[in-house]
Amino acid sequence: MRYTIEGDNLPVVICTLSDGEQMLTEKGAMSWMTPNMEMKTSMEGGLGKAFGRAFSGESMFMNTYTCRGGEGLIAFASSFPGRIMAVPIAPGSEIIVQKTAFLAAEAGVQLSTHFSRKVGAGFFGGEGFIMQRLSGQGMAFLELDGHVVEYDLAPGQSLMIDSGHLAAMTAGVQMSVETVKGVKNMVFGGEGLFNTRLTGPGHIWVQTMPFSKLAGLLAVGKQ
């Protein structure tokens, strides 16, 4: 599989496949393709993983595109201003992503639901609670919102972020939710009641404008 990522604020990844190569996508991700791309819809990973995706707000079904009869082309466009990022997945190099970040991947990549180990994150962490784990072998493409800033966290090093701004992290990063200190800060600070602490070692990708935050701003503007 060969690929190019084109565009600025609304990018697209264009993948060129050889005969027999496959791509795995969420439903509705395909933007254009050559006629020799064959689509099959299934509960990828079996019923258990399908229910896990449904619990995280994703579709139970996924689409597999297989190239038939020579070289083919398939493209996946971003649905929101931001960046498409290519991440190689391999055993020991798993990543955890926000449930809306997965765009497409080679067929050797496996998706499963990831829950935070901290119970508090489940009740207060918002988008950070239910995420997706990408494992297996192959190239994965992530759709990230707004501009993306990357950090390498050393062992024990932490970064506090607002819920929703975490786009992805390597599997070794620990996530917990902490209450904002000070009653005035909580009531009048406008930053919410909780922040997410990310602790290394590992690599993290932070997005500047989560879709959920933009939707909230637009909802306020309509009032």
CA distance 63 to 39: 6
What is the domain range of residue 117? 2-222
Which residues, 6+ apart, have CB-to-CB distance to 122 below 8 Å?
Answer: 115, 116, 129
pLDDT score, position 50:
46
CA distance 105 to 80: 19
Instruction: Check whether 181 has a pLDDT greater than 80.
Output: no
Give per-residue pLDDT as tens, 120-145. Answer: 444 444 444 678 999 999 999 999 99
Instruction: Check whether 169 has a pLDDT greater than 90.
Output: yes
Give per-residue pLDDT as tens, 47-73. Answer: 445 444 444 555 567 899 999 999 999
Strands, sheet with 158-161, edge to edge from the N-terminal-most edge strand: 158-161, 194-199, 174-179
CATH number at 22 reads 3.60.160.10
Nearest to 71 by CA among 95, 37, 101, 103: 37
Nearest to 36 by CA among 65, 62, 13, 4: 65
- Per-residue pLDDT averaged across 177-204, rounded? 69
Instruction: Check whether 81 has a pLDDT greater than 70.
Output: yes
Token code pair at residue 114: 């990831």
Residue 116 — pLDDT band, cuts 50, 70, 90? low
Give per-residue pLDDT as tens, 36-54. Answer: 999 999 865 544 454 444 4
Q: Which amino acid is at 73?
A: L
Evaluate if pTM is beyond 0.85: no
Number of separate domains in the chain: 1
* C-beta of residue 122 within 8 angstroms of C-beta of residue 156: no
